[in-house]
Structure 1
Amino acid sequence: MKKLFVALAAIGLFFASCEQEPKYKLTGKITGQAEGKVYLSKVQDNDLVKVDSAQLQEGAFEFAGSVTSPELFFIQLDGKKETIQFFIENSNIDIKADVEKLQEAVITGSAEQAVYDGYVKSQKPFAEKNNTLRREFMAARGANDKAKMDSIRSAASEMQAEAEAAIDEFLTSNANSIASGYVKYRMTGNMKLEKMEEMYNALPENVKASVYGNLIKDKIDLQKSVAIGKPAPDFTLNTPEETPFSLSSLKGKVVVIDFWASWCGPCRAENPHMVELYKEVNEKGVEFLGVSLDDNKDNWLKAIEADGLIWKHVSDLKGWNSKASRMYGVTGIPATVLLDQNGVIVAKNLRSADLKVEIEKLLQ
């Protein structure tokens, strides 16, 4: 009898432990839409991926589950491009929104969302001022008022410094918040490797263990793998004629990998200078390889022809999910990677004038 009691007690403890597992319960109400499908989504590999779904019942919906750490999720409605962005955590979270103003949703019950709301609120005055200054600058440029343009540039610099100070204050005050980790991850866009490592090393352990801490670490590891002095990772993509072409086939020559896209204004503005440089150095044994971040083949081909880009071009037409751009950690274009004759990375992100200087060093 005693053994039976012990066994039953153990079973009871097992079920009790299961019941105590942290979970979230997400309830919501969408005003202006009574029926339809609602999706719970998250970002994975630069895509918004649906992880759960429910039916609206008189505008109401509900989701339940668990997360290992607070993370940014999204509510999507069928037929709507706008989404509701919020931090989910293992708590009771409530969302109230108007179907025509989803981004203005009111979210309660998530401590991390409350922190992030504070960040957004702190930056809103700077965003509004930036928009005002942009309009004033365009008007001054239209009137060819150079003094006014200089004055606006000065005001914009001061505003940027104030905005950065506000961000620093937020991050310092909320150092242990996962939302703070998310903001730091967003700041790593074009951050230099050394500064990124310094930022990561200063993160509290709970933030390091979060999705955003891991993303920063992954980015550091990637940047190290394609740092100056490292062998350039090989890739194979299709040419406009849909013929596979490998970077490694150019080994033995100085190579410029040029990441660009037809829709990128700065890329198109730089192209004439790149054409001029190519014509000057190609006969000396230098090859260019254009890697497009386009997702529309017609637009890609038209831009090649319109800009007179007479070197080899490749693309997988996956936009920012381009295999090569992700392999090289490209977060903004135009971006260049210069390789020596042995396929080793010797310089990165140089425009045509500085690129020419580095190419000439390799040709000596």
Structure 2
Amino acid sequence: MKKIVLSLLIIIAFISCEKKDGAEGENVHITGNVEGLGQGKLYIQKIQDSALVILDSIIIKGDSKFESNIKLESPEMLYLFLDRGQTNSIDNNLMFFAEPGNIQIETTLKEFFAGAKITGSKSHDLWVEFNKINRRFNEENLTLIEKRLKNELKPNQATSDSIETAYQNLLKRKYRYTANFAVNHSDNAIAPYLALSEIANINITYLDTIQKSMKPDVAKSKYGKMLTEYIKERKTTEK
């Protein structure tokens, strides 16, 4: 379970594997356009057993528009991976929180991740909303890392203590914000997802609160079940 939690924190590099035959009862219809892409291949992937597996592969040749139909048991974070051929880029992987229904992805070859606009998924809308604030925490953390590195060149204990205090306060603010966001949106799979991907190491009391606040359908979702199992494991380990 801990490996599963860790896998949610990292966008894993593309892992080649065979695509499975189309599943019955496909309930997610994805349409999109990668403006500027004349030739290439797109892969729709998800994390399974700590690795990325392909749900669908789409060949782009001439027409930059694409379409895919997949099956999901519950809302889940997916990855749209762009194979640029011989050109490598850190802007090749686009995360999107998918859910049953119609989802549209509009992006460009130049800004595949940064310029993407995704509509049709309430779960994704909430993830974007969460990240507006969470991005500030990440930026503050990068600033503290820079200060820490500079201090290592000319060590100063007072500066070191100040940086550590600032970091601990930042962590508390991030944890508190994430926990509150999860509880306030306990009717969506974003709640257990954030608990696992952003604050898995938080005091177990907070995770308990999130777990108990989940609506029945969320508790039965993929991430709801994972959170329940993770909490059980934490309580067993910490006894």
State TM-score, norm by structure 1: 0.51
Q: 2:81 matched to which residue of 1?
A: 76
Q: 1:343 matched to which residue of 2?
A: none
- Answering whether residue 102 of structure 2 is matched by residue 98 of structure 1, we say no
How far apart, CA to CA, are the structure 2 residues paired with 1:148 and 1:58? 56
Larger radius of gyration: 1
Q: 1:54 matched to which residue of 2?
A: 58
Paired residue type of 2:80: I
SS for the counterpart of 1:124 is helix
Paired residue type of 1:58: D
Specify which structure has the bigger relative contact order, considering alpha-carbon pairs within 8 angstroms and separated by 6 or more residues.
2
Deviations along 1:134-164, one digit per CA (max 9) or x if unpaired, are 1012112211222222222222222222222
**Retained in 1: the 8 A contact 2:29–2:69?**
yes
Q: Once superposed, which parts of structure 1, at least 4 consecutive aligned residues long, lie more than 6 Å away?
A: 192-195
SS for the counterpart of 1:43 is strand
SS for the counterpart of 1:163 is helix
State TM-score, norm by structure 2: 0.75
How far apart, CA to CA, are the structure 2 residues paired with 1:48 and 1:22? 20
How far apart, CA to CA, are the structure 1 residues paired with 2:159 and 2:216? 48
Paired residue type of 2:164: R
The alignment of Structure 1 onto Structure 2 pairs a total of residues equal to: 208
Counterparts of residues 15-94 of structure 1 (less than 5 Å)? 23-56=27-60, 57-78=62-83, 79=85, 82-94=92-104
Paired residue type of 1:59: S
Q: 1:255 matched to which residue of 2?
A: none
How far apart, CA to CA, are the structure 1 residues paired with 2:124 and 2:48? 20
RMSD: 2.7
Offset, 1:73: 1.1
How far apart, CA to CA, are the structure 2 residues paired with 1:67 and 1:142? 51
Q: 2:10 matched to which residue of 1?
A: none
Counterparts of residues 164-313 of structure 1 (less than 5 Å)? 164-187=175-198, 189-190=200-201, 196=207, 199-220=210-231, 227=237
**Retained in 1: the 8 A contact 2:186–2:213?**
no
**Retained in 2: the 8 A contact 1:39–1:52?**
yes
- Answering whether residue 146 of structure 2 is matched by residue 135 of structure 1, we say yes
Deviations along 1:269-314, one digit per CA (max 9) or x if unpaired, are xxxxxxxxxxxxxxxxxxxxxxxxxxxxxxxxxxxxxxxxxxxxxx
Offset, 1:121: 0.8
How far apart, CA to CA, are the structure 1 residues paired with 2:206 and 2:221? 20
Paired residue type of 1:89: E
How far apart, CA to CA, are the structure 1 residues paired with 2:64 and 2:220? 36
